[in-house]
Amino acid sequence: MARRIFEAVVGVLLLIVAFVLAYFFQQSYKAGVEYRSLPVPVTDIPPYTMLTEKMFEMKDFPSALIGGYANTLAQLDGRISNSRIPTGLPIPLVMVSAPEDFRLADPSLEVISIPVTPPSAIGGQVRVGERVNIYRLIPPGEQVIPIGAKDPISEPVTLIAGNVPVVMVLAGDGSAAGLTETGRTISAQVLVLAVTSEQRDAILNLMAEINGGAMMWITLATVEE
């Protein structure tokens, strides 16, 4: 009986020694590892969300594991999530983008596409970064009644949207227009524009009026000094 009691006591002592050694090993390991605070989401952040500093808190992580992650709140504030960002984990920089890179334009502007023909759009030679004016033309003999109105449009030429930035220029199949690697020029058939809400409504109304006989014409806007 005494032998069993002795063995039990020894076993308990060995467990205590093991726990103590494990504790000191853990503390020694932590002391030898450099930590750094990184921002982590307080809750899951869905894609297409404008980020603010209030969405994050700071949490310590080993410095060896922080490559490619956001280091400060300033790196996240004002950017947009391009995929779901999970709670409590460092944020890879590839998961956030500048709004204009992710959605082609400033967050305050809508992005809209309109079909064009080369003759009506500067020979199809519109380029990204240029600004265009969009006009409504009423051909002689045509009567076009605006949406929600009773009387036909009296002005033969009307500026619908002015100084609109072009963010993409596409061919009819959605591929990029312009000069190809083979030297062939593909004319623009779709313009992708960044517009205000007022310009959006005016352009969409014009798209409907085209079916009633109106025409759309594109010009390059004048350069502001």
Which pLDDT score, from 0 to 100, does residue 29 have? Answer: 47
Same domain flag for 191 and 128: yes
Same domain flag for 119 and 188: yes
Which pLDDT score, from 0 to 100, does residue 143 have? Answer: 83
**Rounded CA gap, 95 and 153, in Å?**
49
Domain of residue 189: give its range: 110-220
CA atoms within 13 A on the CB side of 48: 2
Same domain flag for 98 and 157: no
In a domain, 70, yes or no: yes
In a domain, 4, yes or no: no
**Rounded CA gap, 11 and 17, in Å?**
10
In a domain, 153, yes or no: yes
In a domain, 8, yes or no: no
Same domain flag for 119 and 147: yes
**Rounded CA gap, 99 and 103, in Å?**
6
Backbone phi, psi, residue 40, to 5°: -130, 150
Q: Which residues contact 201 (CB under 8 A, 6 or more apart)?
A: none
What is the number of domains present in the chain? 2
Per residue in 144-202, pLDDT tens?
A: 887 777 888 888 999 999 999 999 999 988 888 887 777 788 888 999 999 999 999 99
**Rounded CA gap, 122 and 219, in Å?**
6
Same domain flag for 82 and 142: no
Share of the chain above pLDDT 70, in %: 84
CATH number at residue 92: 3.90.1210.10
Same domain flag for 166 and 121: yes
Same domain flag for 98 and 171: no
pLDDT in tens for each of the 225 residues of the chain? 555 664 554 455 556 645 554 554 455 445 545 788 899 999 999 998 999 999 999 998 887 666 789 999 999 999 999 889 999 999 999 999 988 788 788 888 999 999 999 999 999 889 999 999 999 999 888 888 877 778 888 889 999 999 999 999 999 888 888 877 777 888 889 999 999 999 999 999 999 888 888 999 999 999 875
Dihedral sign for Cα atoms in the order 54, 56, 60, 64 = negative
Beta bridge partners of 59: 38
Same domain flag for 129 and 198: yes
Tell me how far apart the terminal alpha carbons of the chain are, to the nearest angstrom: 102
In a domain, 18, yes or no: no
Last residue of a domain, one of 76, 102, 128: 102
In a domain, 74, yes or no: yes
Regarding pTM above 0.75, the answer is: no
Same domain flag for 73 and 152: no
- Strand boundaries in the chain, DSSP class E: 35-41, 56-62, 80-81, 96-97, 110-115, 131-137, 157-170, 178-179, 185-186, 190-195, 215-220
In a domain, 29, yes or no: no
Q: Which of 211, 10, 8 is nearest to 115 (CA)?
A: 211
In a domain, 173, yes or no: yes
Which pLDDT score, from 0 to 100, does residue 157 have? Answer: 94
Same domain flag for 130 and 84: no
Last residue of a domain, one of 74, 102, 130: 102
Same domain flag for 89 and 40: yes
Which pLDDT score, from 0 to 100, does residue 211 have? Answer: 85
Same domain flag for 201 and 126: yes
